[in-house]
Every structure is written in structure tokens, then in C-alpha cells.
Amino acid sequence: MANHLSQKFEEIVGKGNVLASEVDRHNYSYDAAVLPPKLPALAVRPETPEALGRVVATCNELGLPLTVRGSGTNLSGGAIPSVGGVVALTGALSKIIEINEADMYAVVQTGVVTAKFAAEVAKRGLFYPPDPGSQAVSTIGGNVAENAGGLRGLKYGVTKDYVMGMSLYDVNGELVKTGSRTVKCVTGLNLHGLMVGSEGTLGVFNEIILKLVPPPKASKAMMAIFDDLGKASETVAAIIAAKIVPATLEYMDDFTIKTVEDFAHAGLPTDAKALLLIEVDGHPAQVEDEAAEVEAICKRIGATRIQVAKDAAERNKVWEARRAALSALARVRPTTVLEDATVPRSKIPAMIGALEAIAAKYRLTIGTFGHAGDGNLHPTILTDKRDHEEFKRVEAAIDEIFDVALSLGGTLSGEHGIGTAKSRYMVKEVGQGSILYAKRLKAALDPKGILNPGKITGE
């Protein structure tokens, strides 16, 4: 059976591009989520768009579950296949087809690595802002499927704000086109809008048209340290109230500060309660004004220390602490569970208070950092998945984190996706009606349910 199946796919993608050995199957059974692996029947690596389309059609014909995989960095299990299913790798579909400077858009294949694309765009004097934490390896296809965010979300938005259109394969392998290379386009249903964040459940992306913007001419970064959490969140609120939208506005809690300092020796005060990293960008004159105003706000509210970066080297130093946050936390215990429950920005103090209470209640270590400007915090639970008793408490804590986030008017996931990790909580946030609607939509587009089954709406 397995041999027969391999042969069938070899006819489509070529002999070297079907990976069906025991080790290959295990290698495509997981992603970056802390979830059990699932063993696919095989993985295929199409080298042409046509082959990709035929892979989709063949899976549908045979009723085989199909999961598309870029770099497998998803944190909610979106790239974990179904048992006995097919994994389609996009690594060989990684061409940047066009970067159009006059019309400020780009067309790419789905397997292009985000950071490589952003660097190519920067070389032409333009800017692709979405910068998810995994950008050095993540692919554009994965970013679109998960609607990835990043540090610049507050001012520049997230992946969905840059998708102008795409072509995709429907479940029968037919090519579907949506959107265009123009700023305005109301031709047909906004299908690309539907595809963003669909986690591979509604179609398989082929080419994506992305919006580009001019880069800011100047930027200024600063670090403000607080001895009181309330003052830090008051500062965030005051900056926004002053009608200043920083490019980034990052938060770090006391545990994270201590851990980063132990790890990176960046000179952070270990008795601090909270830290904000703020960067404003834009026209040089505006940047100067806004930086001065932000600094004044930090002082007025009572930051114990403010460090404004005077040059690129100092800016790098300010950012070093933030970049080290996850690395430093990840080294404390063997297993790192990175959550991304998100609340309206004004509810951040309440959320942080609740996280502290949850950590105490379940006797867990939780370090929290994240995007204070957009309410997207990353409570990071440090644990050991081999300790089953402790891991039960971790799961209970996650349940409660979601409950709190929802009660504050927030959402289950800011940027990591629902996948299989959070599908069972969906009903709490959106209600049964929304789930039914989504399921009917899925059933109409994918009658056999082969497209990344189990993701978002559950089995």
C-alpha cells in the first residue's frame, strides 16, 4: 500500500521528492508546538506549481489528509499532519517572482523565507514590515496561513494588512485567482481575505501578492525601567493617549528581566518590576519630537531609569535584551510553552495581575514578555513535559489563562494560530454559531475534509 502510494506521488513530483522512509515520516510529524507528533504516510516536495496542484488533486481523489508545511515553526500545531496523511513541503517553491518598485508590491511563491524576502525588498529601498519572531526561517506561505504578527503590529499591522491577492489551488487542484496588483480591487469575493489565517484548511496557496511600503527614514529606540507594574502600563496608555503610535512598544516582566540579566548580562537592574522597550520611527523631525515626548511621559509617570539609544550600536544594545528574552527563558527548564492570549491594550495590567495569580495557584514558573502596545502578551510557562503531574497543572493554567483573556474582552490567539492546540477553546470565544458557519463553509469547499483536518474548528 505504502509503496503503491509512493509510486503514485513519484509520478507527480519525481522520485527523489517523495520522502517515505521511517525517519522521513518521523521528521515531518511535528512542528514547534508542544503537542504529540502524528506520523504521516509520506511527505512530498513538489518543484513546480503544477506538481503542487496535482498533489492536492490526488490527495482529494484518494481521500488523503493533506498538510502543507513551510519550515514547521508553527506554535499551535498547524503543521502537524494527520496520521497516515500527506505532507506537502514548500521548500522547492521559494522564488521571489517580482518586486515592483514603481507600484510597490511583490509576488512570491509560498516557500520564500520571510527574512530573506524582507532583505530583498530592503535592497530595493522598500519595506515589508511583518516580522514574526521566527522570520529567519518562517515562510511567507506559513505567515499568510497563520496571519503572523510580530513586533511592529501596533503601527504597521500584521500579515493580513499586506496580502493584496493570491492564486491558490482548490481541493480539486483547480487554480483560483483572487485580488490583484492594484491598491483598489473589488472584483469578486475577497477570497484572499478568507484565506489569510485559514491555516491550510480551505485551499493550498500558490503565489501571493504582497503590499510593500516606503521604509521610515529615521528611528529612535529607548528603554524605560519601572519599579512598579502599574506605572509601566500607565505609561503605555499615556503614550497612546498622546496620539503617538510607536513602531514597537515591548514589555518585559520582573522574572524575564532577571532571567535575561543572568543569561545575557545586558546590565538590566534585577530589582526592576517592569521594563518597556519603545521605538518610534518616521520622518527625522517627527521622530525627534515623538522620542522627546515619550521620554517626558516616562519621566512624568515615574520610570526609574530611561536609556535613549544615541546611535545604531546603542539601539542594538537596547534591543539585545528583548531579543534575548525567549532564549533566556527557554534555558531555565527543558520545556517552554509559549502562549499568545491577547487583550485590549488597556486591560494589560489586569491580565498581568491574573497571570501572576495563575502562576502562584498552579505552582508554575511563568515569565511574561510581549507586545504591550497591541495587548499581545507572551506568558511563557517553563516546565518539563516529562513530569506528567506538573504538565497537568500547566494544562490547567493554560485553560485559566484563556478564560481570563476572554473575560477581559480579549482573544485566544494574537498571532500563533488556533491549530489543534486551541480548537477546543474556540466555542468559548466565538460561540457555537460561528463554528457551525465555519464548518459549513469548509464542508462546501472541501467535501471530503482532506485539507489540514482538525485545525481551527476541531475534528
Partner 1 sequence: MSEMRALVGLLKQIDDQLVACMRCGMCQAVCPIYAETGLEGHVARGKIALLECLADEIIKDPAGVKERLDTCLLCGSCQANCPSGVKALDIFLKARAFLTGYYGLPPVKRAIFRGLLKNPRLFDSVMSIAAKFQGIFTRPVNDMIGSSCARVFSDLIGGRHFAPLAKRPLHDLASERDAPRGFSGLKAAFFYGCVVDKMFPRIGNAALSVFDHHGVGVYMPHAQACCGIPALSSGDRDTFEKLVAMNMALFGDHDFDVLVTPCATCTSTIKKIWPLMAEGLPDSTRFRIREMAAKVKDISAFLIQDVGVRPVDLPVVGEPVTVTYHDPCHLKKSLGISAEPRALIAANPRYRLVEMEGADSCCGSGGSFTLQHYDLSKRIGKRKRDNIVATGAHVAATSCPACMLQIGDMLSQAGDTLAIRHPVEIYAETLTGR
Binding site for partner 1 (CB under 8 A): 19, 21-24, 26-32, 34, 37, 45, 71-73, 89, 91-92, 113, 115, 134, 136-137, 326-327, 330-331, 334-336, 384-386
The greatest distance separating any two alpha carbons of the chain, rounded to the nearest whole angstrom, comes to: 72
Rounded to a whole number of angstroms, the minimum distance from the CB of residue 101 to partner 1 is 23
Nearer to partner 1, 23 or 189 (CB): 23
CA distance 256 to 362: 19
Work out the angle between the directed axes of helices 254-264 and 312-330 (0-180°, nearest 10).
100
Q: How far is the CB of 43 from partner 1 (least distance, A)?
A: 8
β-strands 365-371, 376-383 pairing? antiparallel
- Measured at the alpha carbon of residue 240, what is the angle toward residues 236 and 245, in degrees to the nearest 5? 105
How many other C-beta atoms lie within 10 A of the C-beta of residue 141? 28
Closer residue to partner 1 (CB): 164 or 252:
252
Three-state secondary structure along 332-371? Answer: CCCEEEECCCECCHHHHHHHHHHHHHHHHHCCCEEEEEEE
Nearest distance from C-beta of residue 19 to partner 1, angstroms: 7
Which of 32, 268 has the CB closer to partner 1?
Answer: 32
Shortest Å, Cβ 72 to partner 1: 6
134 or 235: whose CB is closer to partner 1? 134
Copy the grid coordinates of residue 146: 497563520
Nearest CB to partner 1, comparing residues 45 and 231: 45
Nearest Cα neighbor of 79 from 35, 46, 125, 122 is 35
Q: Could you give phi then psi for residue 394, rounded to 5 degrees?
A: -60, -45
Cβ 22 to partner 1 shortest distance, Å: 5
Q: Considering the complex, state which of residue 123 and residue 310 has its C-beta at the smaller distance from partner 1.
A: 123
Give the Å distances, CA to CA, from 148 to 111, 162, 422: 15, 11, 16
Nearest distance in Å: CB 47, partner 1:
11
The three-state (H, E, C) secondary structure of 166-228, written as one string: EEEECCCCCEEEEECCCCCCCCCCCHHHHHCCCCCCCCEEEEEEEECECCCCEEEEEEEEECC
In angstroms, give the least distance from the CB of 71 to partner 1: 6
Per-position DSSP letters for 126-156, written without gaps between them: -B-----TTTTT-BHHHHHHHT---TTHHHH
Of 125 and 334, nearer to partner 1 (C-beta) is 334
Return the number of the residue (133 or 414) whose C-beta is nearest partner 1.
133
Q: In angstroms, give the least distance from the CB of 421 to partner 1.
A: 13
Q: SS3 for 279? A: strand
